Amino acid sequence: MRIAVKFCGGCNPAIDRANLVGKLASLLVGVHPDWELVSMNEDVYDAVILLNGCPVGCVQKQFLDEKRPVFLIAGESLQRERIDEKDLPAALLAKILRLGNRNGENKKNSEENAL
């Protein structure tokens, strides 16, 4: 799975966006080494993380018609649910994994682990 990350302009960050992405990348590699976080400049991706540094969530407006799954970080919130900054990477990973389960991405991993 390829997950694109779109950063806001950073005019009023309440969270450390780069740190969040770094921690998420580390967690993701531990669970699914073949999944990757990519830039929005990439043409092919399966989902999008909109990474807004503050609760305004301005980047969301650009993606109202996005057909792929969108994960919205806006300050200390995920999908508009309040989450402490330190807990955001794990909470976001859990949502990404649920998406992977719905899309059958985790089936191969569980079959390999059962052997």
Residue with tokens 């909109």: 50
**Residues written for the chain:** 115
Q: Tell me whether strands 2-7 and 36-39 are parallel, antiparallel or unpaired.
A: parallel
Residue-wise pLDDT tens digits, 5-63: 999 999 999 999 999 999 999 999 999 999 999 998 888 999 999 999 999 999 998 89
Q: Is the dihedral of CA 47, 66, 75, 58 positive or negative?
A: positive
In the chain, where are the structural domains located? 2-106
Evaluate whether 109 touches 32 at the Cβ level (below 8 Å).
yes
- Give pTM, 2 decimals: 0.86
Of 105, 87, 84, nearest in space to 96 by CA: 105
CATH number attached to the domain at 2-106: 3.40.50
d(CA 31, CA 112): 13
